[in-house]
Amino acid sequence: GEDVEQSLFLSVREGDSSVINCTYTDSSSTYLYWYKQEPGAGLQLLTYIFSNMDMKQDQRLTVLLNKKDKHLSLRIADTQTGDSAIYFCAESITSASKIIFGSGTRLSIRP
Amino acid sequence: DGGITQSPKYLFRKEGQNVTLSCEQNLNHDAMYWYRQDPGQGLRLIYYSQIVNDFQKGDIAEGYSVSREKKESFPLTVTSAQKNPTAFYLCASSIPYSGRARGNEQFFGPGTRLTVL
């Protein structure tokens, strides 16, 4: 069945790069997403990538996709205190199908 | 300003009571969703609705019910049959199919935290 896995916690020093990893099982996944959830709030779409892409860059965010290994990563350059949040990896097969979310990675920033 | 609102932000319920969580959107979105979030478990889909007067069960629908009488509204009722209802509940909506260049991008409300006493 469909499954998305990610580690629960990541701690980085302010100014360093953060890399959050995710693996998924459904090779039919066409859309892969990264959502951000700040404390006590809903989720917000950060970025997305189509399965026919290897990489996508958007300002401080870089998404890498290894389709062969079904591995997705999110790199945040120059991590700031405002980046503290839970980051969810997610996938869907089509633009109409439901989204499967991972368990979320809680990113904490050390001074 | 367009967006999704959920009310109340915090809700307390006694065991054996039904309770209804509100979700309203003014984004003109067709599809709406209810998720449950538990610590370390991510989001699990309860119910979703692709169009008015139609809805489908998600992965954990038991003990919950919904209605979709208006495009803007998708209330969720947590019934007494739900054995462990304490959780954070999130409502979301999706843009119309014609605009889905970014996949099934979902817009989330701020959530309702339900606690059973």
Are the C-beta atoms of B49 and B55 separated by less than 8 Å?
Answer: yes
Mean pLDDT of B34-56: 91
Which residue, among A20, A105, A30, has the nearest Cα to A64 in the 3D structure? Answer: A20
A83 backbone dihedrals φ, ψ, rounded to 5°: -85, -5
pLDDT score recorded for residue B102: 67
The pLDDT value given to residue B12: 93
**CA distance to A85, B23, B64, B87, B112, per residue, from B20 (Å):** 28, 10, 10, 14, 11
CB contact under 8 A, B43 and A95: no
Contacts with A33 from chain B: Cβ below 8 Å: 103, 105
For the stretch B54-71, pLDDT in tens is: 999 999 999 999 999 999
Closest A-chain CA to B9: A40
User: Do the chains contact at B104 and A92, CB–CB below 8 Å?
Assistant: yes
Residue of B nearest to A102 (CA): B42
Residue B96, pLDDT > 70, answer no
